Amino acid sequence: MTHGAESTPGRRTLLGAAVLGSAALGMAAAPGAHAAERAAGDVRAPGERHGGGHGSGYRSLPVPTVIAHRGASGYRPEHTLGSYQLALDMGAHVVEQDLVPTKDGHLVCRHENDITGTTDVASRPEFASRRTTKSVDGTAITGWFTEDFTLAELKTLRAKERIPASRQENTVYDGRWTIPTFEEVLRWADAEGRRRGRPVWLHVETKHPTYFRGIGLGLEERLAKLLRRHGRHRAHSPVFLQSFEPTSIERLAKLVDSPRVVLLSGANTRPWDFVQSGDPRTVADLVTPQGLKWIASYAQGIGPTLDLIVPRDANGRLGTPTTLVRDAHARGLILHPYTMRNENSFLPADFRRGTDPNAYGDVFGAFKVYFEQGIDGIFTDNPDTGLLARADFVDG
């Protein structure tokens, strides 16, 4: 399965002003405390479902919810405490973590188990012999892998920017932070929640769960144990659990009551657990009314790629929206699509400005299109921009 394409980006000129603006938004983001949220309820028919501060648990979150993708990864090396802190300080409603295990079974926050591109491991002679090639979800990858390191060893590494050619400004933070464990993130979230007087919401993804179970490092039980320890195992707990593999979500549903989201990649892809078990269904099957009904039997939401909501043509231009938002809502599922990024290279062609792939495009225009579809939230590398776009949308 392919998803979460990693490439380009670049310009930070909006950051200063945007941080100031969104800090104010962040202070006002407590459920039910801000006119914008009441307005969000007006727009989104509060009480019918997720939104507007009119429910409890995830239904109390502002809609559309701004989810900081890997933290404020547009401005800091992803999945670091620095990236998470900036996202929270900007006012993001939810902060995302991707989880993979260490050799000794600790859960750490990385987008891939291959840490070649996001740490300084390649420059560490003591770990040179750990470089290897392995097949992960059917793809041969050469590099250094978290499951070959103890936590103590991983903690000697330093995080760095994934796409330095595109996000050059982020490289000034290279080496500043270590790889966080999920337990450290839970402690950070608990402390920040106490300090702010409201919970810090997390959105936690199990990465390659079938692969890791196959090598004796099952993710779900370890995750459930930590969620219980930090009181985030209940239906109203401030956390979403997410995975591209439906069986991981089904397994989590048996372990905890925390709200769950099934991620959906391109229509022609097949979740890796389906490939392994011989289940012939593709994502196209899962977004049918029947497929959505099945998902709703064990999850509260879906996290589709934005292209499943508004497809792009061969030139990258937006086409006619699908019925996915309506169909999912009809089955009680919320939608948290991914991923909005400010750089031209990631935007629909309709909203690119100029020819520099790393320059920022008309990101507010793009956010507006997606918000108008009725989505419940959105993952973004640029939570400050997302919050301003949300305010534009909600306040009119």
Chain residues in the site for ligand G3P (CB under 6 A): 3-4, 69, 98, 111, 205, 242, 263, 303, 338-339, 379
The residue (of 137 and 205) whose beta carbon lies closer to ligand G3P is 205
**What sign has the CA pseudo-torsion 247, 252, 254, 259?**
negative
Cβ at position 339, least distance to ligand G3P in Å? 6
Cβ at position 96, least distance to ligand G3P in Å? 6
The residue (of 71 and 291) whose beta carbon lies closer to Ca ion is 71
Q: Report which secondary-structure segment, H or E, holds 313.
A: none
CA torsion, ordered 29, 33, 37, 41, to nearest 10 deg:
140
Residue 43 and residue 369 in contact, taking contact as beta carbons nearer than 8 Å: no
> What is the residue type of 164?
P
Q: Report which secondary-structure segment, H or E, holds 282.
A: none
Which of Ca ion, ligand G3P, none sits in contact with 3, Cβ below 5 to 8 A by type? ligand G3P
Between the alpha carbon of residue 69 and those of residues 5, 78, 219, 387, the distances in Å are 13, 8, 20, 13
CB proximity list for 362: less than 8 A, separation 6 or greater: 347, 351, 352, 353
> What is the residue type of 370?
Y
The residue (of 82 and 303) whose beta carbon lies closer to ligand G3P is 303
Which of Ca ion, ligand G3P, none sits in contact with 274, Cβ below 5 to 8 A by type? none
Which of Ca ion, ligand G3P, none sits in contact with 74, Cβ below 5 to 8 A by type? none
Cβ at position 45, least distance to ligand G3P in Å? 26
Residue nearest to ligand G3P (CB): 4
Which of ligand G3P, Ca ion, none sits in contact with 329, Cβ below 5 to 8 A by type? none
For residues 341 and 357, give the distance between their C-alpha atoms in angstroms, rounded to a whole number: 12
Cβ at position 10, least distance to ligand G3P in Å? 18
Cβ at position 4, least distance to ligand G3P in Å? 2
Q: Which has the closest alpha carbon to 27: 62, 57, 55, 63?
A: 62
Cβ at position 96, least distance to Ca ion in Å? 6
The residue (of 34 and 170) whose beta carbon lies closer to ligand G3P is 170
The residue (of 67 and 151) whose beta carbon lies closer to Ca ion is 67
Residue 269 and residue 244 in contact, taking contact as beta carbons nearer than 8 Å: no
Which of ligand G3P, Ca ion, none sits in contact with 379, Cβ below 5 to 8 A by type? ligand G3P
Residue linked to tokens 């899962």: 286
Contact residues toward Ca ion (CB under 5 A) are 98, 205
The residue (of 100 and 391) whose beta carbon lies closer to Ca ion is 100
- List the alpha helices (DSSP H) in 3-105: 15-27, 35-44, 81-90
DSSP label at residue 53? T
Which of ligand G3P, Ca ion, none sits in contact with 339, Cβ below 5 to 8 A by type? ligand G3P
The residue (of 112 and 384) whose beta carbon lies closer to ligand G3P is 112
The residue (of 127 and 212) whose beta carbon lies closer to ligand G3P is 212
Q: What angle do CA 36, 38, 39 make, to 5 degrees?
A: 60
DSSP label at residue 267? T
Cβ at position 99, least distance to Ca ion in Å? 9
Residue linked to tokens 């603006």: 21
DSSP label at residue 80? S
Cβ at position 111, least distance to Ca ion in Å? 7
